[in-house]
Amino acid sequence: MAELPVSETPRDPTLCSGRFTISTLLGGEEPPPPAAYDSSHPSHLTHGNTFYNRTFGYNTIDVVPAYEHYANSALPGEPRKVRPSLADLHSCLKEGSHLHALAFDSRPSHEMTDGLVEDEAGTNGEKNPEEPVRFGWVKGVMIRCMLNIWGVILYLRLPWITAQAGIVLTWIIILLSVTVTSITGLSISAISTNGKVKSGGTYFLISRSLGPELGGSIGLIFAFANAVGVAMHTVGFAETVRDLLQEYGSPIVDPTNDIRIIGVVTVTLLLAISLAGMEWESKAQVLFFLVIMVSFANYLVGTLIPPSEEKASKGFFSYRADIFVQNLVPEWRGMDGSFFGMFSIFFPSATGILAGANISGDLKDPAVAIPKGTLMAIFWTTISYLVISATIGSCVVRDASGGLNDTVIPGSGACEGLACGYGWNFTECAQRHSCRYGLLNHYQTMSMVSGFAPLITAGIFGATLSSALACLVSAAKVFQCLCLDQLYPLIGFFGKGYGKNNEPVRGYLLAYAIAVAFIIIAELNTIAPIISNFFLCSYALINFSCFHASITNSPGWRPSFRYYSKWAALFGAIISVVIMFLLTWWAALIAIGVVLFLLLYVIYKKPEVNWGSSVQAGSYNLALSYSVGLNEVEDHIKNYRPQCLVLTGPPNFRPALVDFVGTFTRNLSLMICGHVLMGPRRQRMPELRLIASGHTKWLNKRKIKAFYSDVLAEDLRSGVQVLMQAAGLGRMKPNILVVGFKKNWQSAHPATVEDYIGILHDAFDFNYGVCVMRMREGLNISEVMQAHINPVFDPAEDSKEARAGGAQLSISGTVDPEALVQEEQASTVFQSEQGKKTIDIYWLFDDGGLTLLIPYLLGRKKRWSKCRIRVFVGGQINRMDQERKAIISLLSKFRLGFHEVHVLPDINQKPRAEHIKRFEDMIAPFRLNDGFKDEAMVTEMRRDCPWKISDEEINKNRIKVQEKEGPCWGRILFVPNEALRREFFKKGQLFGDIDFQQRRGCTELGSWGWKDPKTSGQVPALPLTGWVILSCTLPIGRKGKCPSSLYMAWLETLSQDLRPPVILIRGNQENVLTFYCQ
């Protein structure tokens, strides 16, 4: 534990035996009276009390576990509690911090906090008058779900479905629907108890579990389905009112328009109740629930009362065994007369299970209320459906005329049907299918059977209006949460909330408009199947969310509700999709198409949200599994990929280097941007934590598929050594080191040049390939980025320290991550369309083929696909044709598609004197000028400056200059003499001489060509602007034999002043190309 240093300040003896306050140990002021420290006093033993948090025998700023440390928000009017950071506990406590102020606070402990926030007692226990209304599991979930489940189908369509499908198949329809909803209820219970649930209901559960892609799409269509559900229940209510008006001979206009008029007026009243607030809406729901309970009791009593003559004429004969038996089997009629036709009409009546979850933000404890209330609602509503289906099928025949004169003497031969045995003849209307009453013909059968019909009508009103109201609230609440997440454009307007409950007034108005549009259809059997597929799609994704979260084995999946099964959830997801297609295949395709469209949109937009979804956990599992699996497979040349560690420093400082490597590694291989932060670790650690995420976001914004890795080190070389050894994972480790050319090597401190060349040597020691990139304008654009550097240090001061210590200046600063992401992206040549330009490859030494592979990979990219690639190799002038054919043959076996090959002849021609002088002037500042002393003396003189070049080395390694002059760029290539080649290149030849002729009047748009000095044969010219890249094999300097300054002089001579980027490449001398199949 982090203890605070104890001051020598004398303490009160009465306090020595009790708990210590921080001020007692550190402060110099007078301690409070002993009574304030009485640990036996109950008010001093609260979580808000300092003493309670520090009872471990010694003083500490550490705190005991508390709920507030894990919560994302604080209670209204109270500051948020946070635990001390690791730096607070591990490092020196900074003066001026809130913890430091606490340490010297001399207030009595009962007035002190736990060290982080004000004491909760400061709120005086007064309830905030603006505290939002919260509901428990009965009122908030169970009643709401039961009301939404019962709805219009229970009263107006369940008797009709029983007549069509028979009692047996009706029970199967009910149980099949309940199976889907029960499994979904279990999945909802598991998801909702796996963390704190906020507002947004179904959308919130799916999006936070499966991520914004699926969550956003299903949230949008679920909100739409609820808005259409408002229309369905309102139309059911309007049908009942219309039938009452017709019964009393008072129609408004005509049957269809009456439904439209009544429906629009009703949904407007429901909108007014919703706008009044959740408290009024909840009171209305309780009233509707009581009315429905009374109507159920009234119906059951009615089935026991002997039928009157009027009821008998309408087909009701109380409980009869023969009626029950006849109604056990189906009798399909009409266009919807099929099992799945009935299922599609009934299923929406089971979809109300999400009504409680949809107001999750208004529940006291969603984790308890949603599972308990939802499952209880499913149980009781299932019992009610089964009972009503069985009782109505045991009391009422399928066809009845309703005519009081249709009586007959029992046993008469002219009468057909069960009613004949009870003295009624419905034969004529049954044969003509013109009966107005009976289960198959009269939607208000339950009202006719009941003891007091107006109570059933009231129950229908209560069920339909409560369901419509619940759907209206659900649609608005879900849509509001979706709008606040800003996953889709143009919908943010509807996310604004009003009042203490953050009511989505604009969402209510939008749901109202959608409901009115569907009320115009005025046909319940048409509206019901429309929303069935949307609800089934939601259920499928909820079940899949539970399954996916379970199967990924994420440590964060810890639902407190244990009575679920991941395989049952998977079955629920599959059966939901199957039922979608069995109901209406074209509607299922439309629903899935809408989901996919919305899904692809979110994937394309990549919203900046991180909800810890199971998709992320699954991605990690897959990546881990494949990465471990790679270890079981040996490397093969055919599967070689250039995996690059790019020394970018801050990636935004060297965008050209990032773009170049990102171009050929994109979707192909690993790229890691390495950054070495130099300096004392204590000073650099805060910067390290701050900038890492910012640089990763910058890479993502630039659409570079790369990782960012930074290390702290005392110097650049040791940091790069750590990166080369530790970067990567398993087989996914870098095999190429990519660096920028040190352009200022002549003016920089020689120690930095020694480190730079040492890094190249280290790369070869670690069996890396090396790629050095040089651009004429330079790679580092950090001067442009200085606006985003937080001036916590003085760059000039840093520069002086760097020069004094011989370290390389690293301009990194403390970069603001947000500014880093929002800054304007610098454009480079590698981002533009290259057109028909030329890539020249100087494959001078056989490095295993890496010099060829990287340009080939560039040429595969769309922007570079039209580029012409030429390969230059060294050779003898008298064997040019043979050597050219040999290289063409080799390249054809590699299947690279390089067909233009040129041989560079005449390797032994002497350089010009002016070029030799230029080279000698370049190395002059780095000469030791030892006067040809013996080796021991030279070693002693060069101990503190190993980059110096001795006179003996100059004499031994006579410089050979090769001349290559173009019209707009002069060039000399220095080749080591024979002695150095034996030591340095193992007797290899570097270049053949080419006599480049400059044409008169050549401008930047001119052209050049080279001619054979023996035959004067002119090679076709190429416009200078046609070059995009020059790639050349990197010569290797032998470690310990070639001074860094001499080696840099060779690289400088090889690449200076070229207009196109120059890439010097050297593989690790192992094959990266093969022409074999295995």
At 215, is the secondary structure helix, strand, or coil?
A: helix
As beta bridge partners, residue 424 has: 407
E-strand spans in 28-67? none
- Is there a contact between 788 and 816 (Cβ–Cβ < 8 Å)? yes
Which 8-state DSSP code applies to residue 381? Answer: H
Nearest Cα neighbor of 235 from 646, 524, 574 is: 524
Strand partners, 874: 904
CB 1031 within 8 A of CB 812: no
- Sequence-distant (6+) residues with CB within 8 A of 287 are 462
List C-alpha distances in Å: 694 to 315, 655, 707, 723, 815. Answer: 76, 15, 12, 20, 8
Residue with tokens 């979804």: 613
Res 799: pLDDT = 41
What is the sign, positive or negative, of the torsion defined by CA atoms of 728, 730, 732, 733? positive
Helix (H) or strand (E) holding 872: strand 868-874
- The pLDDT value recorded for residue 718 is 93
- Alpha carbon of 780 to those of 122, 338, 744, 755: distances in Å? 56, 74, 11, 18
CB neighbours of residue 388 within 10 Å: 23
- pLDDT value for 46: 42
Beta bridge partners of 841: 871, 1031
CB distance 25 to 6 below 8 Å: yes
Token output for 351: 């979809």
Catalogue the E-assigned strands of 875-1019.
900-904, 960-963, 972-975, 995-997, 1007-1011
Give the DSSP H or E segment for 709. strand 707-713
DSSP letter for each residue of 95-108: TTSHHHHHHT--S-
The answer to whether 212 touches 485, Cβ cutoff 8 Å, is yes
Cβ(253)–Cβ(242) below 8 Å: no
Length of the chain: 1078
Instruction: Tell me how far apart the alpha carbons of residues 303 and 448 are, in angstroms, rounded to a whole number.
Output: 10
> pTM of this prediction?
0.65
Q: Is 938 helix (H, G, I), strand (E, B) or coil?
A: helix
Residue 135 to residues 142, 361, 737, 787, Cα–Cα distance (Å): 11, 10, 62, 52
Residue burial 973-994, b: 16+ Cβ < 10 Å; e: rest = bbbbeeebbeebbeeebbbbbb
Q: Is the dihedral of CA 873, 875, 878, 881 positive or negative?
A: negative
**Contacts of 76-82 spanning 24+ positions with Cβ under 8 A:** 76/128, 76/130, 76/131, 77/123, 77/128, 78/117, 78/118, 78/120, 78/123, 79/117, 79/118, 80/117, 81/114, 81/116, 81/117, 82/116, 82/117
Closest alpha carbon to 660 in 643, 639, 646: 646
Q: 544: closest CA among 211, 55, 269, 66?
A: 211
The pLDDT of residue 119 is: 37
C-alpha distance from residue 894 to each of 199, 324, 796, 887 (Å): 61, 83, 53, 11
854, 642 contact by CB (below 8 A): yes
Where does residue 62 rank: exposed (0-12), middle (13-18), buried (19+ CB within 10 A)?
middle
203 residue type, one letter: Y
In order along the chain (1078 residues), what is the average pLDDT of each group of 10 residues?
Answer: 44 40 39 41 42 49 66 61 66 55 44 35 44 76 83 81 90 90 87 75 76 80 85 85 83 86 90 79 81 89 86 86 88 82 81 76 78 89 91 88 76 72 79 82 84 85 82 85 83 79 84 90 77 82 86 80 89 90 83 86 78 74 84 83 92 91 90 87 67 84 90 90 91 92 89 91 92 88 55 36 37 51 74 85 88 90 88 82 88 87 72 78 80 67 76 61 31 32 31 30 29 36 55 85 86 83 90 82
Q: Please list, in sequence order, all residues whose beta carbon lies within 8 angstroms of the beta carbon of residue 147, skipping any fewer than 6 positions away.
A: 285, 288, 289, 292, 352, 355, 462, 463, 466, 467, 470
Q: Cα–Cα distance between 997 and 965 in angstroms, integer?
A: 7
Bridge partners, residue 400, by sequence: 437
CA neighbor of 445 nearest in space, from 482, 402, 474, 406: 402
d(CA 1035, CA 257): 89
Short-list 388, 401, 363, CA closest to 299: 388
Concatenate the DSSP letters of all residues of 1011-1067 into one string: E-TTT-PBPPPEEGGGEEEEEEEPP-PPTTTS-HHHHHHHHHHHHTT-SS-EEEEE-
| Tally of CB atoms within 10 A around 95 | 9
Residue (of 721, 635, 719, 724) closest to 684 by Cα position? 719
